Amino acid sequence: MNDHERAIVQYGLGRFIETRDTQKYPKRSISVAEPLALISICRHLIGKESFATHVLNHLEYNSGKGFEVVAMVAFTRLLQNKLRISDLFNFHKQQPEWSHETAQIVSRASKSYVNYHSILHEPIFSDQALPFQAFDPEDVINWLTNDSSPAWCIPDSKMGPDLMTRIKLSNGNNILIVVQAKCWGVATSKGVSLPASETASAIRSLTPSRWFSETRRRNMGKIATKKQKTRIKKMLSVVSSFKILRVVVAAPLVPNLDSTTSQVQDAIKADESPLATIDLAHIAQAFSEIPDGHEIVRRLNWKRGENMMGAS
């Protein structure tokens, strides 16, 4: 520890006392003169809220963002088990030819895809466990093409999807999964399905041709609009090199992709990429081994008569 580092540590924890008695302490040792700060920090870390409590707090005060965390952790755990795609997702109409393959979530390292083994709910995160934040089209390109990049990307709200990740199939192909997570409950609802308008909105958000579309119309002149269109076109060119799986995950009301309403059908027809949902039972399975994970599932599975309203 150099003098600068020592000064920083002492400022946060307390003044050091160096022991000079080499006979009693043959190795150079240091004690803290005022240990209360150190004890306080240790007690804080020991008593730190669990992952389940953290997520439950998010679901209580910001259900949309909280549910995105739930979805990301659940997908991570499920896609680390090399499950068959068709066993995990409920496809709308015809399943893609690769749906019988097993899948493994991957990140990028040293210009290649590697199996992603991190567990997002652990209290200590590695660099590869932290999601990539994409604020603009260039960020999306960087996440997809950089020599090294995390397994997850969290796009800006102006893009469309809530989450993006990549999987490697047992046949060696890579799939880009784009996710829209809807935490929506209506106390007066008489059904179990997400409203058609919300389902259609979720599907549209996963349509690549609409990504960042809002940024092309807000307070922009002709030159700026043209430049933004060029940036988006470049991003879509990179995205088009991937096969895409669009996934809508929602709780406690579930999306009905078979809705005959024109708004849902039009949203589905806007893109030819496979479209699917995932059952809450799979979410429950993913949290079954997480301490207090059942509380998260119970919270998502509240009766519709209880006060759980919100959207993401």
For the chain, give every domain's residue range: 3-46, 51-300
Cα–Cα distance, 221 to 125 (Å, whole number): 43
Q: 68 is written with which tokens?
A: 């995105």
User: What's the pLDDT score for residue 24?
Assistant: 60
pTM: 0.77
Q: Which residues of the chain have pLDDT under 70?
A: 1-50, 119-129, 185-191, 215-220, 301-312
User: What's the pLDDT score for residue 129?
Assistant: 57
224-255 burial, b for 16+ CB within 10 Å, e for fewer?
eeeebeebbeebbeebeebebbbbbbbbbbbb
Tell which phi-psi region holds residue 292, choosing left (phi > 0), alpha (psi between -120 and 50) or beta. Answer: left
User: What's the pLDDT score for residue 17?
Assistant: 54
Q: Which of 107, 117, 179 minimizes the C-alpha distance to 148?
A: 107
Q: 206 is written with which tokens?
A: 């996963």
pLDDT digits (tens, 9 = 90+) for 101-136: 999 999 998 889 999 887 655 544 444 457 899 999
